[in-house]
Structure 1
Amino acid sequence: MASILLAGGGTAGHVNPLLATAAELRSRDHVVAALGTAEGLEQDLVPRAGVPLHTVPKVPMPRRPSGDLLRLPRNLRAAVAAASAAIEDSKADAVVGFGGYVSTPAYLAARKAKVPIVVHEANARPGIANELGSRLTRHVAVTFPGTKLRGAVVTGLPLRPEIGELADVLADPTAGPEARAAARAVAGWSADAPVLLVTGGSLGAASVNAAVVDAVPRLVAGGVHVWHLTGLGKDEDARRVHSLLPPDQAGRYRVEEYSHDMATALAAAGAVICRAGAATVCEVTALGLPALYVPLPHGNGEQADNARPAAAAGAAVIVDDADLDPVAIERGVEHMLLDPEVAEFMRGATEAIAIRDGAARVADMIETAIGAGPREGDA
């Protein structure tokens, strides 16, 4: 039994893999604690999962000259000191970083304490913290092939337990069809209904919503059933279109701002239109779903990079945000849902690239790092 400190926070993209890894480590009788900030999602989600949370000050890494740059050395020293205290308090045998503000001081404190370091990078394009971390250890896990970190090993993403369990069910030749039929029944649809799930995450994606709303009348007229998660406060246009549909077609369009049961929505789906965050791509692929990815047009282009392996394998198509319109959606649905041969090929392609045991692979790496010790395992 070992004690392991998991560092990550700020966004669901860092917190969810951390919690999935924590669950796997606990199932192996290890003791886990987390390192985060007092402001990010982790301050709520980590304690709720029963994992002790140690906090460090948030230290943004300025990309241009500013007052933050001048304050960086002092702020970083304070964060490293807090991370060092967490390592000592938790008696950590290893420190595992998932990127973000928290990981940089965690890596520096672990190096100072001569504690083995493990790095996990969720995105195809690594962040600054994990670029640093990869220089301090030989134990580097990545989600996607081609991620440019030294010594990287592809482990996939540690999936949330409920998604991992659903993926196993849907992959079962007997249980899978039963689960899909039960999920579609929740919406009042038949077991063989062609179901398109549209989601832009909890905040929604305005451009995706607009294109889908314009495409819905033709989709439902053609027999497609659309489960549209618009995002909080972004359902007005969708509900307006729903009210204008003929009565015999309106039942094929289900509009919700947000789902508290994403497992059911995903189980009902035959294909998905969504953004291309790392977790989204990995979960959709693990569930065997063909996808039309619309990468977020802002940032450093990492979402497009996340989606490229699935597209290259034939499991998905990528449509630039600027090119998304009803015609692109109808064309995608025609292939993913209504053409049996293409749909079957895309589902088969997900099997070739899906990694459903990412949490177990990362846990194996952590155990190896602890066995190796700082002299063998770290640079």
Structure 2
Amino acid sequence: MVSVVMAGGGTAGHTSPLIATAERLRALDAEASIVCVGTPKGIESRVIPGAGLPLEMIPPVPLPRSLSPQLLTVPGRLAGAVGKARGILKTHRADVVVGFGGYVSLPVYLAARTLGVPVVIHEQNAVPGLANKVAARFAKLVAVSFPDTPLPGARYIGLPVREGIVQLDREGSRDEYRRAFGLRPEGPVLLVSGGSQGAVAINDATLAARKELLAAGVDVLHVLGPRNLPDDAETITDEQSGARYVPLGYVDHMEQAYAAADLMVGRSGAGTVVETATAGLPVIFVPLPHGNGEQAKNATFLIREGAGRLVPNGELDGDRLRDEVLPLIQTPERLAEMSAKCSGLVPADAAGDLARAVLDVARKDA
């Protein structure tokens, strides 16, 4: 029996490809033992058990982005997390470690290195994070979502997405999911989401443009992020047009929101970029302006092909959102053209390809 330990957490950008790959591993080898490693701070504490996967916890070790007294505490905390990860790998007799980046992955990578357990890494962004940069030096396989990701020995596999997104029939399931979200069955629907944690700039611009969008007959499904949803949030219906504004904190199955929508405004995290391209949903991307600049680069191939649009975060306000959304969402032919251009831009079975590669590594080193 193959034993696979998977590490990734913090945001949906790390947990979603992990879950997608785990699903395919189970489909390929029903007897495989799979355990996931996360930290109590990330969304993995909820979404990984929710996907039916066992989860072990290690303490988080965030790395400061600048010189500060906190930097002095990193070696001790990292050593403690590595020790905890070693115990998990020993207990589960790991044949392979699969990591998806984030704070939780580095201690697991280092623990695997000390125990001689082979490591497979997957980097979801066009610009790699620190944990995967470190592990790429000794990993058996370095898999990437985008072909130009600068990691040594990188193999372009694509981003694993859940089977529900790969098999999504947007047109066929549109009515069902519009009803489920409380949207009108007819008329244009705009989906707004800043990712699993939400995005204040996108939320503020949406609220500023809400009245005009509703007056124009556009329903808005607004996923604000769990911490950004007001206690008194409620559906608003425009008296003249009948259009509805539906606020939510989080959506567990984003394919349902993709099916309900005609157009999306959102961040360009790798998950959003690849999932919407797979689903054929046109997007106006507003890249996160912080970090390594990976979000702007993630969406480059879609923008280049005319399958998406990009608005810099600093230029987004209610007027700009309205001016970007209305001309598109009120022109079904343009949306259909953008949707068609998504076809074939991302690998069709990245989750399956990665899962097969993981099993190959585990069996060769067993």
Name the TM-score, length of structure 1 as normaliser.
Answer: 0.84
Contact conserved, 2:183 with 2:246, CA < 8 A, in 1?
Answer: no
Q: Deviations over 1:14-34 (max 9, x none)?
A: 223222222221222211112
> Partners of 2:45 and 2:168 in 1: how far apart?
32
> Partners of 1:237 and 1:315 in 2: how far apart?
36
Contact conserved, 1:183 with 1:267, CA < 8 A, in 2?
Answer: yes
Contact conserved, 2:183 with 2:219, CA < 8 A, in 1?
Answer: no
Equivalent of 1:158, from 137, 157, 160?
Answer: 160
Contact conserved, 1:144 with 1:156, CA < 8 A, in 2?
Answer: yes
* Corresponding residue for residue 293 of structure 2: 301
* Corresponding residue for residue 188 of structure 2: 194
> Partners of 1:331 and 1:152 in 2: how far apart?
40
* Corresponding residue for residue 168 of structure 2: 169
Counterpart mapping for 1:91-170 below 5 A = 91-159=93-161, 161=162, 164-170=163-169
Q: Deviations over 1:161-200 (max 9, x none)?
A: 3xx3244131xxxxx4331133334435245x22221222
C-alpha RMSD over aligned residues:
2.8
Alignment partner of 1:351 is 2:346 = no
* Corresponding residue for residue 25 of structure 2: 25
User: 1:138 deviation in Å?
Assistant: 4.0
> Partners of 2:59 and 2:204 in 1: how far apart?
39
* Corresponding residue for residue 320 of structure 2: 328
Q: Deviations over 1:113-163 (max 9, x none)?
A: 22211001122211111001111024111122211111112222222x3xx
> Partners of 2:216 and 2:67 in 1: how far apart?
55
Query: Taking structure 1 as reference, are residues 70 and 289 closer, same or farther at Cα in structure 2, changes over 3 Å only?
Result: same
Q: Deviations over 1:184-237 (max 9, x none)?
A: 34435245x222212224554333233333434444444433333344555699
> Partners of 1:334 and 1:361 in 2: how far apart?
39
One-letter amino acid matched to 2:164: E
> Partners of 1:68 and 1:259 in 2: how far apart?
32
Q: Unmatched 5+ residue regions in structure 2?
A: none
> Partners of 1:331 and 1:167 in 2: how far apart?
31
* Corresponding residue for residue 81 of structure 1: 83
* Corresponding residue for residue 222 of structure 2: 228
Contact conserved, 1:56 with 1:83, CA < 8 A, in 2?
Answer: yes
Contact conserved, 1:290 with 1:336, CA < 8 A, in 2?
Answer: no
> Partners of 2:73 and 2:171 in 1: how far apart?
57
Query: Taking structure 1 as reference, are residues 270 and 129 closer, same or farther at Cα in structure 2, changes over 3 Å only?
Result: same
> Partners of 1:203 and 1:35 in 2: how far apart?
20
One-letter amino acid matched to 1:24: R
Contact conserved, 2:229 with 2:247, CA < 8 A, in 1?
Answer: no
Equivalent of 2:72, from 61, 70, 73?
Answer: 70
> Partners of 2:19 and 2:214 in 1: how far apart?
39
One-letter amino acid matched to 1:308: T
One-letter amino acid matched to 1:118: V
Aligned length: 361
Contact conserved, 1:198 with 1:272, CA < 8 A, in 2?
Answer: yes
Alignment partner of 1:337 is 2:329 = yes
> Partners of 2:316 and 2:233 in 1: how far apart?
17
Counterpart mapping for 1:206-221 below 5 A = 206-221=200-215
Alignment partner of 1:253 is 2:244 = yes
Contact conserved, 1:202 with 1:258, CA < 8 A, in 2?
Answer: no
Percentage of pairs with the same residue = 40
Query: Taking structure 1 as reference, are residues 179 and 302 closer, same or farther at Cα in structure 2, changes over 3 Å only?
Result: same
Q: Deviations over 1:49-80 (max 9, x none)?
A: 44333333333334444444334333333322
* Corresponding residue for residue 267 of structure 2: 275
Higher helix share: 1
Contact conserved, 1:92 with 1:115, CA < 8 A, in 2?
Answer: yes
Larger Rg: 1
Contact conserved, 1:335 with 1:342, CA < 8 A, in 2?
Answer: no
Q: Unmatched 5+ residue regions in structure 1?
A: 171-175, 375-379
Name the TM-score, length of structure 2 as normaliser.
Answer: 0.87
Contact conserved, 2:60 with 2:81, CA < 8 A, in 1?
Answer: yes
Q: Report the 3-state secondary structure (helix = DSSP H, G, I; strand = E; otherwise coil) of the residue aligned with 1:156.
A: coil
Q: Deviations over 1:281-314 (max 9, x none)?
A: 2222221100001112233322212222221221
